[in-house]
Structure 1
């Protein structure tokens, strides 16, 4: 993922420089020479910023044929406004996270360009890798600020059932959305059991990592890079997104250990559903914690794997022979706690109901159930997830709903989501209108002729 999608930005670091830029806007000749296209609060937008944004989007294969330069420029102005207001609201940036993100981005780009650092520097018109890193840091930092500010604007926006009904009733009948073919899908999962010996072996290995770090000066980040089985954090040396005591969704055991540590301390090994961990608390900033971890999973024996395979084969035979229903078999035999008590039915994470729209279905799931007739049971599928390296499952389609016009009762959750999105858009529009009015904004030259959705020109 190219870092330029966030947008290139230059920060004016102090009030004197802000004054100098604002003064320069009065002189149109100087503006053209400087290439300053706009000023938004403490940020400037250069002509080259927009050129770089377009180049990055095209490099990623984006189709810009129907997008005007004015629309892209308006998008840059919005990002600057969010970042500016985030600074005013003292939104905190996790510097370690941003630096690790820069490392990932540089390595990712170099992997695509076969290690051509010189070409990368030429593309971004930088004379050194450090200069490039400094600019990427500012880009990511301000992109992060913009994203956090937008989250803050819509945080807490909710819709009542009456608002959902009003939203639906105000849609003309001939303009109501059509939902595609939907399936209800169920599965039964059998997971191989881990032996106590395998668990103890992992615990001892983690204890060894801890001793090597504390007694021999080894680096926690290096251990995580080489040994952690958490693919999402290992390339960052085990660094996780900033943790906050107010975060509602966090693995209970992980939360308790992390918040019991002192800065610079490493935990003893402990278990979660994901495996066994040790945690290093790197830094505490008020309510925010910078944490690294190493995850190891116990090895599965061939005997345990075969036992699980034999079990699900027998369960499938019972269902196919008609001796037990799929739902009853799920309640009796499935190891997946999230679905077994619902007869194996899967919940759509987007809509929170049991329906999966065929055209929006996860590719992996679609591959596993394509071709199944209603009520037919799939062959045994070997799979894996974030918690289990190996699991076996069988799947079935329990119901099918053909393409249909939105129905308030049947499609309530989908309509609620549309109503919420509409309300969030209106909240953002209201916020933008108020903040634009209170922020120093100046648009230069040809960009004054653009027809913006927001009042960037502050026309009364």
Structure 2
């Protein structure tokens, strides 16, 4: 039965609450806020037969508190996201809240640090997303019943910090869990034959990518344009305005090219190297990354954090360059089809894609980190490109445009097909290992809770003491 729980059919509600509620719930639960006792006047959508409570503190976990209204906010948020709350009890909601509070409390005890810079970065990302959804930050403020943007930001920063602490604590626990081949074997052996999972049809795919060559002349045109913009800014023009008008970075152009970053921010190395080499107010010379050419202006340096603005302009790929790339990849295809060279060898010697070139063009599934793609979960674009290919057939040259507008040509082939089948230890070791690891992680987390609950000040008030929790929050 355990495997089925891990698969999909009858998942233990503890796992559901731990893994799923986080998506809806953590972003709205108050970390430290104490609200004076008031009667909730406007009912939220909660399970039938349950009544709203007079607000107040209902639980303590270390230095953290839980309010009765936090549970109602949880129902409201899930409903707003289109989810169903009819099978979620207030006790289950409270249990999930207590878990999050204990994670955050223990993170502090373990000296896990969440910097103000990280919180501000999370705040910027969340606010940008919220504003995109509703169109006006004042609507976001009203939704959370705050009186001003600043009051909302103060409130929300506490939430985000607690959420980040909980995430880091969870990661610390889970990352420490390792599993041996012997444990994987024993996990598989204990699954009754009639309960072995069925894995859907899969395929392995390889590709060869050819990038159109950008001429030195076209690169120089971009550098000249950026130098002209730089000169204008040095003479008094607004960098932010120039970024809005000319930058091709969709993530920052609407905000005047603004980014806030630390050394840990996942930007390409060349960008970070330049950003952290500049003084406040300094503007870089044009420099190149895989995205194009940039100039950066540093606005503020706060310890390890840099606030900057940048402008990105990518060289235009000429029609001649595209034509040349298409001819090149067509010639590669002709050699493969005529058996002059294998697809794998052609990928190693001809492909411009560094990530796949060394392993013969084989794609790695970003969700599972192995080479198999389950058809029902495959990216729709990739599926449309490979679904009609026969065994060993090589696609015609495909023009591909990524989300940044970069154009390439590629060839695709299916290197292996795996029909739907009952789990086989040898064939499906990677998937079985993943299931075994999940089981061990769940067991480890459960043991962690049992231990930490005993060592932490926890108090549950009123009728919630009658809840039948998964963990021993009442220390009975």
Question: Where does residue 297 of structure 1 map in the other structure?
Answer: 314
Question: Where does residue 82 of structure 1 map in the other structure?
Answer: 103
Change (3 A) 1:258 1:418: farther
Tell me whether 1:349 sits opposite 2:373 in the alignment.
no
Residues 89-113 of structure 1: CA distance to partner in whole angstroms, max 9, x if unpaired? 25123243134135314412323xx
Question: Where does residue 391 of structure 1 map in the other structure?
Answer: 408
Unaligned runs of 5+ in 2: 1-21, 38-52
Change (3 A) 1:431 1:191: same
> What is the TM-score of this pair, normalised by structure 1?
0.81
Q: What SS does the aligned partner of 1:430 have?
A: helix
Residue 367 (structure 1) shift: 2.2
Pairwise CA RMSD: 3.5
Tell me whether 1:283 sits opposite 2:301 in the alignment.
yes
Superposition pairs of residues 90-101 of structure 1, within 5 angstroms = 90-93=112-115, 94=117, 95-101=119-125
Residue 352 (structure 1) shift: 3.3
Question: Where does residue 148 of structure 2 map in the other structure?
Answer: 128
CA contact (8 A) 1:184 1:400 kept: yes
> What is the TM-score of this pair, normalised by structure 2?
0.78
Residues 214-245 of structure 1: CA distance to partner in whole angstroms, max 9, x if unpaired? 663745x665555443444555644255433x
Superposition pairs of residues 235-274 of structure 1, within 5 angstroms = 237-239=257-259, 242-244=262-264, 251-261=268-278, 266-274=283-291
Tell me whether 1:6 sits opposite 2:41 in the alignment.
no
Residue 291 (structure 1) shift: 5.6
Question: Where does residue 128 of structure 2 map in the other structure?
Answer: 104
CA contact (8 A) 2:293 2:312 kept: yes
Unaligned runs of 5+ in 1: 22-31
CA contact (8 A) 1:276 1:297 kept: yes
Residue 454 (structure 1) shift: 1.7
Tell me whether 1:335 sits opposite 2:352 in the alignment.
yes
Tell me whether 1:190 sits opposite 2:210 in the alignment.
yes
CA contact (8 A) 2:55 2:68 kept: no
One of 429, 434, 439 as aligned partner of 1:422: 439
Moved more, 32-41 or 443-452: 32-41
Q: What SS does the aligned partner of 1:271 have?
A: strand
Question: Where does residue 222 of structure 2 map in the other structure?
Answer: 202
Residue 3 (structure 1) shift: 8.0
Residues 429-456 of structure 1: CA distance to partner in whole angstroms, max 9, x if unpaired? 2332333223222222332222222222
Question: Where does residue 27 of structure 1 map in the other structure?
Answer: none
Question: Where does residue 17 of structure 2 map in the other structure?
Answer: none
Residue 420 (structure 1) shift: 2.7
Aligned residues: 434
Change (3 A) 1:90 1:344: closer
Residue 194 (structure 1) shift: 0.9
Residue 402 (structure 1) shift: 0.8
Change (3 A) 1:346 1:98: closer
Q: What SS does the aligned partner of 1:11 have?
A: coil
CA contact (8 A) 1:188 1:334 kept: yes
Question: Where does residue 35 of structure 1 map in the other structure?
Answer: 56
2-structure distance, mates of 1:214, 1:4: 47
Tell me whether 1:359 sits opposite 2:376 in the alignment.
yes
Residue 188 (structure 1) shift: 1.8
One of 306, 315, 327 as aligned partner of 2:332: 315
Change (3 A) 1:2 1:159: closer
CA contact (8 A) 2:206 2:415 kept: yes
One of 182, 189, 205 as aligned partner of 1:169: 189
Tell me whether 1:446 sits opposite 2:467 in the alignment.
no
